[in-house]
Chain A
């Protein structure tokens, strides 16, 4: 019997032995290798095998009891501990769970050249060459960093309601960062990429180091942008990150601003943006970092509209939040690691296409800012902040000189109201960094958007 079938048998046995009203078990086995370069020196070449899982139990009138563990040891004992913890949590308001269809299925993604079969020395040779290429092009490149990580991830989700699901998927992520220095000036370039690919598609990484190196040199003598309010056009990466951090996280039904008793900022039916703004989340999209057939509670993933023509129409749900809202689970219950409990989280977040081109968007701007890429983004209470990667001034409707990265910040509802054009050039940005929320680990996600114009956004500082 294959190892994965043996584990299914253990899962079924543990579920049968559970005395809880509801029991859910999730197991994960991750094989990974990591290589990191600083300058021309290899800093690390490591391999890891991470194995573990989580049991959650729920009883009538009680809260969640959760037990997480490393290894696949004694599942029955873990079920018993989770059940006892649930009994120790009396609740006045019962937790209800929306239904998930019972099903048994395996989802076996194409490993695309299994990275587990590729010797570490071959991976070293590839990344070594890329690291050298990044530094070798220009004497002004003073420092660089390259990080490559590949993984094969297996997951089992089983519940006492008849869900028994398994998937296996590949994952490759790569980050290249370069620093150029000359005459007390400094420029930084960062490129990252993540994909559901294996060794056969590894050539997709080739451009990232060279691009990062070129950008670092170009930014050396780029001017800084003075703080103030500008007409701004965001490229798909910057727009994707901005909407992820604001609309995305505020749509998570157990996320920020969603404390019990609070009216959500993005309340259903509320108009928060113009007609041209439509936003959704699609965990069922093919081949993206946040794509899965089922979420960490066993619910099928789907395409969920969040804003339609500027009006709030949907939220991202777990089984518990869906039951509270009286809707079906949206397939967004995600756990950052095998030891974490699932919460409502983004999968692949997108802004829908509008019409026109980048040229048409900047054509009407006498003096403004074109911001590209995103190094960081956040939302705290109602204030957003976005650190871009680089940008250009817009003068008389044309792109002009390169400028240092900036920090855009302000009230997010005001920001949404200021969207005044959305282009028709949508693209996905599968970034290597992933998505974190409130200190939890990073989840694989993609953000997608077309170029988008704002009538005015505040630049509060530079990040050069």
Chain B
């Protein structure tokens, strides 16, 4: 279908490009270490963009009717936005691991094994353990009328774990999520088991937390609250619409010098890893914030054309939407603080493990207010017990200018790698 579609599009338009994605995802739900449901999802879809009459048209389909898809893309162009894109030609793609044969050939038993291992390890802890594991086998194909035609295969294995135990009236739920091209390594699982045991020990004592401005350590699992406003401000489209507080401050120091953030699509085996983006632009690591200084924003072809810069290899296309710039793998650089150093840096304060998804968040301005569902009181540089559900509030842009310490250990959660970060001046009430 792809060849016919592109050939026909070449004849009837001044330019065309398409992304074809196919995927087979197997998902197992496990309760108490046993599989409770199994599903497989097969999908494929093509997103076609054409340039005709000085306008851009977009259409998507999950069926195999190439002529119907092209007709709808041309109709879209007739009513579409004005524009002309310089489509990338063939290129030499960087090497990056996106596919692991062992994950691709794993059986249902292989996929269920990590969750069963965790059930066995934690079986004596009076925990309710639920897990889901999914294995995605995908392929991405990008082609355009400038002669580009390239593809890569992807495996992604995602493991989600939830361990719950009642502590009096308080339900303590500990979550973990791991995603990568390969099956989860044993070391990751053992680390989580050790972490759960440590948390259960800490939770034996429930302590009060004073309402005041204090130092707070944000574990990697809570990094989203700090990084989302920064990410939002680093997307080219936000700059285009005047909604980015960072766009006009490129080259200046905005955050603490300990803070460095890189978008790295060329790390092997992570969910955002890829050799080229969905428009065929080659990928490369892109420093976003370097020692507190704003370095780069991310752009897809269209946004880059509109602001007069070059695409950075961050275009993402779904079957039915237009291309948008999106981060690949975000890597927050580790610091030098050991675990003891992190607790010492907090001194008397809080270590936040899990934030409620609901709450107040001004993505553009950076202000947030969230309930900490799981947080630990730190006194005299030691964890003294489970804190009640307190609210954490502050402004991410300001707080990242008040970094006290950054942990030496970096943890991958999905497509984001981050250490623990200790910040001064966080409101807790």
Contact = CB atoms under 8 A, between A and B. Distances in A.
B341 to A, nearest CB: 32
B37 A66 contact: yes
Contact of A46 (B41, B42, B60): B60
B38 A85 contact: yes
Interface string A71-93: 10000000001000110111100
B81 A66 contact: no
B62 A71 contact: yes
Contacts of B42: 67-70
Interface string A18-56: 000000000000001011001101111111111110000
A85 B391 contact: no
Given A46-B58, A339-B41, A460-B360, A381 B79 contact: no
B241 A68 contact: no
Contact of A52 (B62, B65, B80, B369): B62
A46 B321 contact: yes
Contact of A49 (B61, B358, B371): B61
Contacts of A88: 35, 38, 108
A463 B62 contact: no
A339 B24 CA distance: 12
B40 interface: yes
B65 to A, nearest CB: 8
Contact of A81 (B40, B68, B78, B360): B40
Contact of B358 (A44, A119, A341, A380): A380
A43 B322 contact: yes
Contacts of B40: 66-68, 81, 85
B81 A45 contact: yes
B38 A383 contact: no
B356 A383 contact: yes
Given A41-B81, A43-B81, A68-B42, A91 B62 contact: no
B369 A85 contact: no
A46 B358 contact: no
Nearest to A92: B34
A184 to B, nearest CB: 12
B76 interface: yes
A49 B81 contact: no
B36 interface: yes
A387 interface: yes
Say what secondary structure dominates the interface of chain B: strand
The residue in A47, A385, A460 that gathers the most chain B C-beta atoms within 10 A of its C-beta is A47
B242 interface: yes
Interface string B358-381: 111010000001010100000000
Interface in B1-46: 31, 34-45
Contacts of B373: 380-381
Interface residues of A, number: 60
A215 interface: no
A461 interface: yes
Contacts of A85: 38-40
A257 to B, nearest CB: 10
A67 B42 CA distance: 8
Given A119-B75, A143-B243, A407-B360, A45 B80 contact: yes
Nearest to A128: B79
Interface string B217-229: 0000000000000
Contacts of B81: 41-45
Given A47-B72, A47-B75, A89 B37 contact: yes
Given A45-B57, A121-B79, A50 B72 contact: no
Contacts of A42: 80-81
Contacts of A407: 359-360, 369
B132 to A, nearest CB: 11
A64 interface: yes
B393 interface: yes
Contacts of A119: 75, 79
A84 B99 CA distance: 26
A211 interface: no
Interface string B152-189: 00000000000000000001000000000000000000
Interface string B50-91: 000000011111111100110011011011110000000000
B382 interface: no
Contacts of B391: 460
Nearest to A67: B40
B360 A387 contact: yes
Contact of B64 (A71, A260, A341, A377): A71
Contacts of B59: 46-48
B318 to A, nearest CB: 10
B79 A123 contact: yes
Contacts of B38: 63-66, 85-86, 88-89
Contact of B78 (A71, A120, A409): A120
B114 to A, nearest CB: 17
B320 interface: yes
The residue in A34, A49, A69, A71 that gathers the most chain B C-beta atoms within 10 A of its C-beta is A49
Contacts of B75: 47, 119-120
Interface string A114-127: 00000111011000
Contact of A385 (B44, B358, B362): B358
Given A38-B241, A376-B358, 19 more contacts: A44-B58, A45-B76, A45-B81, A46-B60, A49-B72, A63-B35, A64-B38, A66-B38, A66-B40, A68-B39, A70-B45, A85-B39, A89-B36, A89-B38, A121-B79, A380-B356, A380-B373, A383-B358, A461-B360
Interface of A: 32, 34-35, 38-39, 41-52, 63-71, 81, 85-86, 88-91, 119-121, 123-124, 142-143, 259-260, 339, 341, 376-381, 383-385, 387, 407, 409, 460-463
20 contacts: A38-B241, A41-B81, A42-B81, A45-B58, A47-B76, A48-B320, A50-B60, A50-B319, A50-B320, A64-B38, A71-B44, A71-B63, A85-B39, A88-B38, A120-B76, A120-B78, A120-B79, A260-B31, A378-B358, A460-B359
Interface of B: 31, 34-45, 57-65, 68-69, 72-73, 75-76, 78-81, 108, 128, 130, 171, 241-243, 319-322, 356-360, 362, 369, 371, 373, 389, 391, 393
